[in-house]
């Protein structure tokens, strides 16, 4: 008999929060609104049913957090390419679609210096004038 601990709702919320963070803080640095909309339609990083156990949820959270850390580093460093691609493979193993390799972001990193206004990015303030 093997005892397995199921993932908790708070872990699923954390994973969803990390995915929202990528869409609102990371993708706008590298893609325009139309491309991000296409990524949503392709269900990039949408949670699958393959995340059943506590261990699976922690692996997914760790992989997403690692991708975020690498993509937020400035300048984007090629020494992290293997780690990035390994975490992408981990996400794919759990059924999360992420069709990118490190090179996709490395080539697009020049846009990071000139961030574009995006409907996906978080507002700088919440005051309505």
Model pLDDT for residues 15-47, shown as the tens digit of each residue? 999 999 999 999 998 888 999 999 999 999 998
Taking the C-alpha atoms of residue 51 and residue 61, their distance in angstroms, rounded to an integer, is 11
Residue 109 or residue 87, greater confidence: 87
Tokens for 32, please give them. 């325009």
Question: What pLDDT is attached to residue 68?
Answer: 96
Q: Which alpha helices (DSSP H) does 4-116 contain, by range?
A: 9-21, 27-30, 33-41, 54-72, 81-93, 102-108
pLDDT reported for residue 119: 62
């Amino acid at each position: 008999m093997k005892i397995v601990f199921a993932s908790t709702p708070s872990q699923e919320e954390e994973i969803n929060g990390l995915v929202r963070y990528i869409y609102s803080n990371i993708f706008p640095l590298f893609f325009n609104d139309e491309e991000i909309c296409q990524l949503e339609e392709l269900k990039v990083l949408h949670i699958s049913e393959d995340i059943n156990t506590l261990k699976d949820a922690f692996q997914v959270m760790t992989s997403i957090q690692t991708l975020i850390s690498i993509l937020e580093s400035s300048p984007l460093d090629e020494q992290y390419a293997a780690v990035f691609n390994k975490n992408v493979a981990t996400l794919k193993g759990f059924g999360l679609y992420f069709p990118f390799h490190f090179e996709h972001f490395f080539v697009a990193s020049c846009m990071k210096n000139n961030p574009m206004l995006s409907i996906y990015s978080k507002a700088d303030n919440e005051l309505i004038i």
